[in-house]
Amino acid sequence: MADSENQKFCLQEVLDSFKLCLSPEKEIYIEHYVSGWRGLVKLLNSLGSLFGFISKDAVSKTQILMNFLKSENGPHYATVQSMVKFELDNELVDVDKKGIYPQSGCRTLLRLHRALRWLQLFLERLRTSKEDDKTSVMCRDAYNESLAQHHPWLIRKSAGMAFYSLPVRPAFFEVMNAGTPEQVVDVLGKAVPLLCEVYQITEELYQKHNLLDLP
């Protein structure tokens, strides 16, 4: 397969990765979580240069997690649950908000976790949208409801500008690369509840360990 084809976003591929994320005991495999995000980066990369800063951040965060997975401590990073236990047991997390571990697995995954909520809200809006609805408005509303509250003014402004440049709904459905609009809606109908489940499991775990405000 040519490189350019390898890079093409495919909604089904992302859905498959997030499906593989969940173990029967509802643990979340970091390897597949990262693959899901790598798939989403292809989407961001196909949306033009204004999305570059968003894509870069997602790439750098997935890279940090992959590096942990490949390190000698790799087995501790197999699942989100084992990572949280390992980093807490070994005091590798800024639970007292000192900012000593700016690249801990827990704080890195927390950023992706918050972004996943945005994605879930956006895709749900897209799924239930009508032909004339604006993708930029759906994306902005989803952002304002979720991730925006964690971002400073400059990032909120830059994100706002990027949203304005989003393709209109029919073109965006093409970018999803999942067939006809009806088929896209169908795949979205499977993807959104799955993202929601992965999000909820992470949210409860982080809440239980008081990790939702890591600096």
Task: Rule CB under 6 A: choose which of 10, 27, 53, 66 binds ligand 1PW.
Answer: 53
Q: What is the DSSP letter of 168?
A: P
| Residue 54 binding ligand 1PW, by CB under 6 A | yes
Q: Which H helix or E strand runs over 124?
A: helix 105-127
| Residue 147 binding ligand 1PW, by CB under 6 A | yes
- Residue 135: C-alpha distances to residues 2, 12, 18, 41, 165 (Å): 30, 20, 23, 18, 9
Q: Which residues contact 173 (CB under 8 A, 6 or more apart)?
A: 181, 184
Instruction: Give the nearest distance from C-beta 118 to ligand 1PW in angstroms.
Output: 6
Stretch that binds ligand 1PW, among 18-26, 74-82, 107-115, 174-182 (CB under 6 A): 107-115
Stretch that binds ligand 1PW, among 3-11, 92-100, 115-123, 191-199 (CB under 6 A): 115-123
Q: Which of these, 72, 70, 5, lies nearest to 34 by C-alpha position? A: 70
Q: Are residues 37 and 58 in contact, defined by beta-carbon separation less than 8 angstroms?
A: yes
Task: Rule CB under 6 A: choose which of 16, 27, 31, 57 binds ligand 1PW.
Answer: 57
Residues between 68 and 97 with contacts to ligand 1PW, criterion CB under 6 A: none
The residue among 79 and 146 lying less far from ligand 1PW, judged by its C-beta, is 146
Q: Are residues 164 and 139 in contact, defined by beta-carbon separation less than 8 angstroms?
A: no
The residue among 76 and 107 lying less far from ligand 1PW, judged by its C-beta, is 107
Residues between 125 and 144 with contacts to ligand 1PW, criterion CB under 6 A: 139
| Residue 118 binding ligand 1PW, by CB under 6 A | yes
Q: Are residues 81 and 29 in contact, defined by beta-carbon separation less than 8 angstroms?
A: no
Stretch that binds ligand 1PW, among 8-16, 66-74, 90-98, 114-122 (CB under 6 A): 114-122
| Residue 111 binding ligand 1PW, by CB under 6 A | yes
Q: Are residues 148 and 121 in contact, defined by beta-carbon separation less than 8 angstroms?
A: no
Q: Are residues 161 and 143 in contact, defined by beta-carbon separation less than 8 angstroms?
A: no
Residues lying near ligand 1PW in the complex (CB under 6 A): 40, 44, 53-54, 57-58, 111, 114-115, 118-119, 122, 139, 147, 155
